[in-house]
Amino acid sequence: MSFLRGFKFALKGIVYTVNHERNMRIHIIVAAYLLYFTGYYGLSPVEMSVLLTLIALVIGLELINTAIERVCDLYSEKYNRLIEIAKDVSAGAVLVAAIFAVGVACFLLWRPNTIWSIILFHCSSPERFTLLVLTVVIALLFIIIGPKRMIENAGSWFSKKKTKND
């Protein structure tokens, strides 16, 4: 197997997980907003490295959790206590990492003056406020219905609708 083919398979796994796992979409959106808002903080390279490492840890564990769940589902469709334990433990690993990541992010980013400055900046003009609200709406759609359905629905907006007169 070539080196680049390995990347292709890995990317397929990431895309699958994004399309099929709501929690992965939540992690991605939280990470995107976190990375955007860290631009207002002037974090040191070490602080930024810690945040990026925790983001990678949470997303990586979500990928592993999805893989474990799919293998367990392949093994048996019937209830199996050991499968339940495996799924619960892998989900627990994601939860522990996510809680730890939120704690570290709060520790690094809890600066009320900076938070207030960010709020004032985004609310100071209708354009910035509208853009922020629009990104939140798109993020919620991404989380709730997923990228695959968003693309399908967007395609239907632009395709010509047939009427009875056509």
Q: What does each C-alpha distance from 126 to 103, 105, 114, 120, 131 come to in angstroms?
A: 33, 29, 21, 12, 8
Residue pLDDT, tens place only, 61-81: 999 999 999 999 998 888 999
Tokens 């893989």 locate to 67
Encode burial over 86-105: b for 16+ CB neighbours within 10 A, e otherwise: beeebbebbeebbeebeeeb
Give me the residue spans of the domains in the chain.
3-158
Q: What is the CATH number of domain 3-158?
A: 1.10.287.3610
| 62: annotated active-site residue | yes
Residue pLDDT, tens place only, 95-116: 999 999 999 999 999 999 999 9
Residue pLDDT, tens place only, 20-53: 999 999 999 999 999 999 999 999 999 999 999 9
Query: What span, in angstroms and rounded, lies between the C-alpha atoms of 98 and 60?
Result: 11
Catalytic site residue from 21, 47, 62, 69: 62
Which residue type, as a one-letter code, is found at position 138? I
pTM for the model? 0.88
